[in-house]
Amino acid sequence: MAGELVLVTGGTGFIGAHCIIQLLNAGYMVRTTVRNLAREEDVRTMIRQGGVEPGERLEFVAADLTSDAGWPEAVAGCAYVLHVASPFPPAIPQHEDELIIPAREGALRVLRAARDAGVKRVVLTSSYAAIGYGQKPKNRPNTEEDWTDPNGDDVRAYVKSKTLAEKAAWDFIAREGGALELSVVNPVGVFGPVLGPDYSTSILLVQRLMDGALPGCPRLYFGCVDVRDVAGMHIACMTNPAAKGERFLALAGEFLSVAQIARMLKRTMGPAAKRVPTMELPDFMVRLAAMRDPAVQQILPELGKRKNGSNEKARRVLGWTFRSNEECITATAQSLVELGLLKDSQKKAA
């Protein structure tokens, strides 16, 4: 019900900021957590970039996933919680626990505080990472019935962290959740309009393609979804009775190769995409690059692996209509150009 107070964890993040924008547009009061209150103006700037003046309808609380401090204050008086915050570094951590512990323990902290404060429902941002990895190849798209095997050969720290955090959340609700309800959104790669220099790691792909930072396209395949759809699904899951106890894959359509994304950018962005490479790179060249770039190491297990997923449940249960792959990729590139976050635009700004 509009006017109610909603907590969004991780307001500095790409998905978190878009959730705040849509909640404010829908008439809700919003509180958001940041690790440091010095980031308040950064968040307000992103919200304004999204077309909303937050004013006094947006308030801030300092809270960190690794500490109990601040969470009781964060959830006090809230009807709902969107738990969006989760660690996602661009490089591989020294030890997987650097990701797993804050993701899992952070989710449990938020759920415990929400239960104790009488929150109606928590919507958790999980990931396709908790659905489509560590398994034998299937002759069908992945669905919400599937779970990543955290002990699978190809499962890296980020994938494991999302899987274990979501499993811990469902276990908490089953064992000690009381009246608290849980719904989960599992996005694939999140693209769409960037609101500032803080954006998801998946956006780096489009940025690097547009900047010509990649010599070619690695043989990678992944799903795309527009951040506006991800945020909208969070709000639908918050209020739709049918979403209670359910998880929902968020994806626009068929998984794409990097080469398909590159050709899409060439087609829709005109001269701005002049640096975008369209040649597919042999795997051995990507492996050589990984020796120098830790960020490239993360993609090695996925080279040449074709996955797919189904958005049928979100369409059927939530009545959701997704923006197309082309729309969300193009919106990403357009926003990077508009905000001066590409090499050419930075030179012009200077």
Cβ distance 9 to 34 under 8 Å? no
Is residue 347 annotated as part of the catalytic site, yes or no? no
State the number of CA atoms in the 13 A half-sphere of 133 facing the CB: 24
Active-site pick, 120, 136, 160, 162? 162
Q: How far is Cα 88 from Cα 109, in angstroms, rounded to an integer?
A: 18
Q: CA-to-CA distance for 181 and 175, rounded, in angstroms?
A: 12
In the numeric block, which tokens belong to residue 15?
A: 């998905």
| Distance separating alpha carbons of residues 32 and 39, to the nearest angstrom | 11
Q: Are the C-beta atoms of 333 and 270 separated by less than 8 Å?
A: no
| Number of neighbouring beta carbons within 10 Å of residue 176 | 12
* DSSP state string for 260-289: HHHHHHHHHHGGGGTT---SBPPHHHHHHH
Which spans in the chain are helix H? Answer: 14-25, 40-49, 71-75, 97-116, 157-176, 203-211, 227-239, 258-269, 283-290, 294-297, 312-317, 325-338, 343-349
Q: Catalytic residue numbers?
A: 162
